[in-house]
Chain A
Amino acid sequence: MSAVIVPLPQPPDELDELTLARARRREDAACRALVLRYQRPVFALLSRLLANQGRAALVEDLAQETFLRAFRALPEFDTAGPARLSTWLLTIATRLALDELKTRRPQHEALEQADAVVSLDRSDTLTQRRQTVEKIARAVEALTPDQRAAFLLREAHGLSYEDVAAALQVDLGTLKSRLSRARAALRIALEELR
C-alpha cells in the first residue's frame, strides 16, 4: 500500500466537526457536549487566575458566562480559520477574568485552596508540598494578572505565542517580556525551596 499524505490532524482533544456544526446551529445536545468537552480547561484557567486573588467564588460564574458568550458568538466562529475552538474559549475566559480582576475589589480568601490541600496532613512529604504550594501561591500573587494569564495560556494550556498575544491583545514583544517576568518570579520562588 502506498503512503497517504493526510493534512495535519485536528488535535484529538477538540470537539468533532459534526458536533461543532450542530452546536453552531444551536442544537441543545451539541451545546451540552461542547460544555462537557471544554469545561475542565476553562475551570482550570479561571480558578488559577482568580482563586488566589480572593475570587474563588466567581470561578463558576465566569465559566458559565464564558460558555454563554461562546454560544452567542458561535455562529460567527470560523471553523475553517486557524483558531482552535479551545483557544477561542480560553481567550473569552481570559478576558472575562482580566476584566473581573481590573474592575472589582477582591474578597479575602487567599490561599484557601492551598490550605485545604494540606491542612489535615502532617507528613514530611506533604509538609514539603505545602511549602511549595505556599511559595508558588505567593509568587503568583506577586504577578500582575496579565503576567499570570500569559504564563497559564502558554504553559498550562499550550497556546502558541501568537494566540496568547492575540488573547491578551498585546504584541509579541510585550508578551515575551511578561512571560519572562512570570518565569523569573516563579524560578526565584522555587529556588528558595531548595
Chain B
Amino acid sequence: MNDDDISKRALDAWPASEPPPGFADRVMAARAVSHGSRGRRRIRLAIAVGVAIVALAAGLLAQALRPTSGQRTLTGRETITLGRRGLAVAEAGTQLSWTVSAGGDARVEQTSGNVFYRVESGGPFVVAAPDTDVTVTGTCFRVEVQSVATVKENARAALAGAAAASVVLVTVYEGRVRIQQHEGAQKQVELAAGEQARFQPLSPSSGAQPWPPSQAASRTLAPPTGALATKASAPAPKTTPLEGASPAVLRARISELEAQVAQLSAAQADVEMFSKVRGFTPDELKRFAENCELRMGAPAYGSTPPKFNPEEARKLSVPASEVEQVNQILAAQNVEFNRAMRDIYLAGTGDVAGADQLDSVAMVHELLAKTSEEQKTSGRRTVARENAGLAKPPADSTSEPAITRMFRLQNGVSAKLEEALAASLGHADAERMIDALTPMHTAYAGCPQDKP
C-alpha cells in the first residue's frame, strides 16, 4: 500500500460528522449574543463617559436631523456623505447637488459624471440625472451621465449616439432601483442587482423616443444593446413635398434618399455583425484590427455565478445532469474571471478598498472610465491584432497596461468557457451550447487618434 492508499482507506473508515441542522443559525445567534455581552462589559465605562457625551450627542443629533444640502463640481475622486443613509463616491468631472430632509429622504441632482452610490434602507432616495430619476430604498448602484463622445466608444452606441446630447447609464450591484423618465410617470422600469440600463434623455432636439429602452434590463459586462433598437425605432426621415418640384429638387431628394438607404444599410450590417461574436473570417479579423475593434460574447459573470438558462437548455435538449455540470463550470469560470479582473483592477488603480467593494462588472466600468482614450485605443489595437494573428500575446502580461489586460481577458472569456465545456462534455456539445451560454455581447471599436 502506498501513502495515498493508506490515506484513502483510513479516512474512509474514520467517521466524520455532518453539521447538524440549524448550526449556522445558532452561530449567528451566538454572534449576536457575543456582540451584546461585549457591549454589556463596556456598559460601566460607557455610563461614565456617556454623561459627558450626551450633551454633545444631543447637539450632533439635532444637527444631523436638520435638513442638509450641498453642491459640488469635482476635479478628482471624492466620497460625499449624503445625510445619514447615503454615500456617493464621485469621479472627476461630476456635478452633484443634493438635499436631504430631516427624516433622511434625499434628492440628488447628478447632471454629469460617474458616481457610485451606496444607500441604506429607509425613506425615498432619488438620484435625478438628465430626464431620468433613479429611486432607491436600499441598494448599491452607479449612475453615469455620459457625453456623446464617451458613448461613441462603444460601437453599438455609436449607431444611435449622434442624436443625443448625453446618455444615462445605470448599473445596479445590490438591491433594486426604479427608474422613471420625467415625461410620463407610467414609463418606468425596475432594475435588480447585476442589471444595467441605458437611457437617452427625451430632449426635443434629439427627436429620439427610446422609451422603454429596449433590453433595458439586460445583464451586461459592458453597456447593453439598447442603442441598436433605438436605431431601428428612430423616427422616419423628414419628407419634402415633391409635387410640382423642379428637376433639381427631385435630384436632390433622390440623392438624399440614396444617402439614407446607404446609411441604413451600413447600420443594419453593423447590427447583424454585432449579433455575431465568434467565427469571424480572417478578412473580418483583419478589418477589426484596422479599426481597433473587439467583438465578444460572455456569460453574465459577476458577484453571482451565471447559470444555464433553463429555457435555452430545454431548447437545446440538454439533460439536467449536463445542465448541472455546465453550471459548475460557469461557477468556476466566474470565480476565475472575478479573480483575474480584481488583479487587473488593482494593477490599474491600486484601489484595494474599491476591489473589496466592487464586483467585476463595476471594475470593468471603472477601469474604462479611468483610462485615457490613448490607452484604450492602444489596448483595443493590441488585442484586435492578436485576434487577427498579426501579433502574439506576451508570455507575461503583468507589465502591460491594465486596460489591455482587461480587453484581453474579456476577449478570451468565450473561448475559455468553450474550452472548459469541451474538456468536460466534448467539443460537439461545447460548440452547441456556447452561444446560449454567452448572451452578453460587447463591442469596443475605433482608432480615433489615427484620424487626421
Contacts and interface: CB of A to CB of B under 8 A. Distances in A.
Q: Tell me, yes or no, whether A binds B.
A: yes
Interface of A: 1-7, 9-10, 12, 14, 16-19, 21, 24, 28, 31-32, 35-36, 39-40, 42-48, 51, 56, 59-60, 63-64, 67-68, 71, 79-80, 113-114, 117, 129, 132-133, 135-137, 139-140, 151, 155-156, 183, 186-187, 189-191
6 contacts: A2-B393, A4-B408, A9-B336, A31-B28, A31-B31, A155-B10
Given A64-B26, A68-B30, A183-B3, A10 B335 contact: yes
Interface in B65-119: none
B15 interface: yes
Nearest to B397: A5
Decide if the interface of chain B is mainly helix, strand, loop or mixed. helix
Given A60-B23, A187-B1, A1 B411 contact: yes
Contact of A117 (B15, B352, B414, B415): B15
Contacts of B34: 68
Contact of B340 (A6, A19, A63): A6
B383 A2 contact: yes
A2 B412 contact: yes
The 5 tightest CB contacts between A and B, nearest first, are: A4-B412, A47-B17, A44-B16, A9-B336, A155-B7
Given A4-B409, A17-B339, A63-B23, A136 B31 contact: no
B14 A137 contact: yes
Given A5-B397, A136-B13, A191-B1, 5 more contacts: A3-B415, A64-B23, A64-B26, A133-B15, A151-B7
Contacts of A4: 393, 408-409, 411-413, 415-416
B332 interface: yes
A46 B19 CA distance: 11
Contacts of B393: 2-5
Decide if the interface of chain A is mainly helix, strand, loop or mixed. helix
B285 to A, nearest CB: 9
A21 B356 contact: yes
A68 B19 CA distance: 16
Given A7-B343, A68-B27, A187 B6 contact: yes
B283 interface: no
Nearest to A111: B15
Contact of B24 (A36, A44, A45): A36
B380 to A, nearest CB: 13
A153 to B, nearest CB: 12
B78 to A, nearest CB: 21
Interface string B433-444: 000000000000
A5 B335 CA distance: 15
A135 B30 CA distance: 38
A39 B17 CA distance: 11
Contacts of A135: 13
A43 B11 CA distance: 14
A133 B16 contact: no
B446 to A, nearest CB: 20
Contacts of B3: 183
